[in-house]
Amino acid sequence: MYGARGKVGNLVVSKNFGNNQTVIAKRPKRADNPMYTERQLEAKLKFREAVVYAKGVINNPALLAVYQLLAKPGTSAYNLALADYCKSPEISVIDADNYQGQIGEQIRVRAMDNFGLTQVKVSIYDAADQLIESGLARQSANSVDWIYDATTPNSNLAGTKITAEAKDTPGNTTLKTITII
């Protein structure tokens, strides 16, 4: 039986281990009605959506070319698209130290994604949650920082909220908000 592996009918399964052992065991039974947790159900749904996205990438020559450029030997564009869909962008920093409420002052957002971001949007709200301004940030030379130039004066900084929204190619978005004290 050395080297045998796999299942025999629906009765037994053989497994090979690294120490030159072959084990034959009863086939494990699956529960008829598995009880998934809410997080497991969310993960299953996310993966199902990722499969649909990856299949769409394969059928879209422009997107397929982007993922093929990033693919390393032994990795397919399909697998990269699947991984891209499953991982949302990350926003690690919203730096408003240089923002004093004047036009032209900059807000820096450090945002990253496993395959790159398509945009970072910055919105500024007053203490009463009224939108003061909103717009797209531009990517800086280091490729991880995004810079937003204020376009509207804000005379009362106390309680001002700054929200950054990062979006990647599959459309995953991540929000992060800071409040100026």
Q: What pLDDT, on a 0 to 100 scale, did the predictor assign at position 36?
A: 85
User: What are the structural domain ranges in the chain?
Assistant: 1-30, 38-86, 90-179
Is 3.10.450.50 the CATH number for 90-179?
no
Q: How confident is the model at residue 22 (pLDDT cuts 50, 70, 90)?
A: low
Q: Is the pLDDT of residue 4 over 70?
A: no
Q: How confident is the model at residue 19 (pLDDT cuts 50, 70, 90)?
A: low
CA atoms in the 13 A half-sphere facing the CB of 171: 6
| 8 Å CB contact between 84 and 115 | yes
pTM score, two decimals?
Answer: 0.76
Mean pLDDT, residues 55-80 taken together: 93
* Position with higher pLDDT, 54 vs 11: 54
Q: Is the pLDDT of residue 173 over 70?
A: yes
Mean pLDDT, residues 163-172 taken together: 96
Q: How confident is the model at residue 10 (pLDDT cuts 50, 70, 90)?
A: low
Q: Is the pLDDT of residue 176 over 80?
A: yes
Per-residue pLDDT of 143-159, as tens digits, reads: 899 999 999 999 999 99
Mean pLDDT, residues 73-85 taken together: 93
Mean pLDDT, residues 107-116 taken together: 95
| 8 Å CB contact between 165 and 123 | yes
Q: Is the pLDDT of residue 61 over 90?
A: yes
